[in-house]
Amino acid sequence: VQLLESGGGLVEPGGSLRLSCAASGFGFGNYAMTWVRQAPGKGLEWVSAITGGGDNTYYADSVKGRFTISRDNSKDTLYVQMNSLRVDDTAVYYCAKGPSYSDYDWFDTWGQGILVTVSS
Amino acid sequence: QSVLTQPPSASGTPGQRVTISCSGSSSNMGSNFVYWYQQFPGSAPKLLIYRNNQRPSGVPDRFSGSKSGSSASLAISGLRSEDEADYYCEAWDGSLSGPVFGGGTKLTVL
């Protein structure tokens, strides 16, 4: 089971970025997937989740209306489109696998993380 | 400010038993399972304990979890130098409709 994030980098405040997470080693479409972030030197914060078929999406209040989670099960890939980025969105973003099709209350596998820096 | 409360640091000597506490409220730990993750510097978190006290395959039985009411503990027995890491608790919060984490506890092996 492996998750590999990509797409991070430096972006100016107000800008946009799309992260990807390529999954392998499990039936991707059978599991909910999430994004969890960690600001430098800080703790973990759940960001967003999507059910196995992509039929339902969920967001933390801190990103609602700015981030959009999606998935392409034909490519075993998870995405998050991040718009109107703010300095406090600076963090390492991890994709993580939920325990079932619709549950995202815990995470049994994590990617290695990708750094997003929002700065002018 | 994290929803779940953990001590920022803990320490012990090799061979010792160490416990890390995590406290929450009725909307999260009081009514849902607790999970624990281990994170080494520069690495991704790893699931250590699920559903209060279950260990994923490959996690040594030196690690154990318990829960009572709105509080939980992670215990590490026979402490080893390689246990030095950050430990996070996590639970579903029904009021916030999402998973919430503790602020993390940095474990130092003296």
Exposure string for A89-116, b = 16+ CB within 10 A, e = fewer: bbbbbbbbbbbeeeebbbbbbbbebbeb
Which among B50, B88, B98 has CB closest to A44?
B88
Alpha-carbon distance A54 to A112, whole Å?
23
At B50 the pLDDT is 98
B100 near A CB under 8 A? yes
The pLDDT assigned to B41 comes to: 95
Q: Evaluate whether B22 touches B74 at the Cβ level (below 8 Å).
A: yes
Q: What's the confidence (pLDDT) of residue B3?
A: 95
Q: Supply the pLDDT for residue B80.
A: 98
Which token pair is A115?
């750094």
Phi, psi angles (nearest 5°) of residue B83: -85, -5
All residues at 6 or more sequence positions from A88 whose CB lies less than 8 Å from its CB, including other chains: A39, A118
Instruction: List, in order, residues 6 or more apart from B57 with CB less than 8 Å away.
Output: none
B7: chain A residues, CB-CB within 8 Å: none
A58: left (phi over 0), alpha (psi -120 to 50) or beta: beta
Q: B77-107, pLDDT tens digit by residue?
A: 999 999 999 999 999 999 999 999 999 999 9
Residues of chain A with confidence (pLDDT) below 70 = none
Q: Are A112 and B97 an interchain contact pair (Cβ–Cβ within 8 Å)?
A: no
**Chain-chain contact of B100 with A58 (C-beta, under 8 angstroms):** no
A contacts of B87 (beta carbons < 8 Å): none
Is a pLDDT exceeding 90 seen at residue B1?
no
Q: Which two tokens stand for residue B79?
A: 């402490």
pLDDT of residue B95: 96
Comparing alpha-carbon positions, the chain A residue that sits nearest to B50 is A106
In tens, the pLDDT along B2-39 reads 999 999 999 999 999 999 999 999 999 999 999 999 99
List of residues 6+ apart from B1 with CB closer than 8 A = none
A109 contacts on B by Cβ (under 8 Å):
47
pLDDT of residue A117: 98
